[in-house]
Amino acid sequence: MIITVESVDRSKHPALVDEMFRMRAEVFADRLGWEVHVENGREIDRFDCEDPLYLLSLDEQSGDLRGAVRLLPTTGPNMLRDVFPVLMPGGTVESPLIWESSRFAVNPRILQSQDRHEANHMVNRTTIELLCGIIEVCQRAGIEHVVSVFDARMARIFRSIDCRFEQLGTPTRIGRTMTYAGLFDMSDEMRVTLGTAGELPAPVLASVPPYGKLSDRVIMAAE
C-alpha cells in the first residue's frame, strides 16, 4: 500500500520519514555509489526542503517501509533543471502540469529474504506499486506528465514492464553510469499497463492525500 506525506505532515510520520532517509543513504550512497550527501546515516538534499510530496510503499501487514519516491513541481527547484542541465542543453521542462519524480528507491533489506525468488518478486511489485501510486496521485491533482532523471539500470526496468517514456535530450554518462531524462504520461492506459504487469488492478493508495492542496499548487503555478 502507498501513503503520501507532505512536508507539513512529516511530524505525523517521524519514524517512517526517518527510515526513508536512512534507506536512501543505503541505496544511493552504499549500493549505487552516487555522490550524495549523507549525514548521520541519512541521505537528505536541498530538494527535501522544497515542500515535496513523498510516496511511501508500506508492507500491509507489518507496516515496514518497502520503498519511496519524491515528487516536486517543475515550476520550482528540481533536479533536472538545477543538477542535471547537461541532459537537456536546449532547455529544461517547466510546466504546472509536469512534476518531477526523484529519489526512487526500493528498500534493499527486501533482498535479505532467504527466498531469493520471493525477494525479487517483492522488489518488482514495490517498484510497480510506486509507479502506480505516482499515476494515481497525479491524475487526482490534474498533473499530466512526470519527468525523471534515471540511470541505465532503471531504464531497463522501465522497458521490462512496458513503462514507456519519451526520451528527453541525449543520454549522458555521469560518473559511472549512463543517465537519462524521460517524460512519462500519467494516463489511464499507463495505469492499466502497469497494473497488469504488477497484478495491481485496484488503487494502491491507502489513504486520500490532500489533493485539494496539491491541486491548488498546480493551479497557482499556472497563474
Q: What is the pLDDT of residues 130-170, one digit of tens each?
A: 999 999 999 999 999 999 999 998 999 999 999 999 999 98
Total number of domains constituting the chain: 1
The pLDDT of residue 61: 87
- Residue 180 is assigned to a structural domain of this protein: yes
- Residue 219 is assigned to a structural domain of this protein: no
The pLDDT of residue 21: 97
Q: The domain containing residue 76 runs over which residues?
A: 2-214
- Residue 31 is assigned to a structural domain of this protein: yes
pLDDT-flagged residues of the chain (< 50)? none
Alpha-carbon gap, residue 101 to 12, rounded angstroms: 23
- Residue 222 is assigned to a structural domain of this protein: no
The pLDDT of residue 33: 84
CB 3 within 8 A of CB 58: yes
The pLDDT of residue 91: 84
Which cell goes with 117?
525468488
Q: Position 63: which residue type?
A: G
- Residue 168 is assigned to a structural domain of this protein: yes
- Residue 154 is assigned to a structural domain of this protein: yes
Residue 47 maps to which CATH number?
3.40.630.30
